Amino acid sequence: TLDLDLKEARIRAARERIEDLEGRQQALQAEQEDLIMRAVTRRGHWGD
């Protein structure tokens, strides 16, 4: 039925948004880890 098709379409759209957000979250987490490593590495050289 149309109602069921609409619900399924909404569920699919929500899943796609979730997958997109998860991908963005993973990218941001990787960037954060990179920035932390850079900061820690740089800080270690200040006393040289």
**Could you report the per-residue pLDDT of 10-36, keeping only the tens digit for each?**
999 999 999 999 999 999 999 999 999
Is residue 3 classed as helix, strand or coil in its secondary structure?
A: helix
* pTM of the full structure: 0.68
Residue 24: per-residue pLDDT: 98
Residue 42: per-residue pLDDT: 83
Provide mean pLDDT across the span 30-46: 86
Q: Which residues of 18-47 are buried (b: 16+ CB within 10 A; e: fewer)?
A: eeeeeeeeeeeeeeeeeeeeeeeeeeeeee
Residue 18: per-residue pLDDT: 99
Residue 2: per-residue pLDDT: 87
Residue 47: per-residue pLDDT: 54
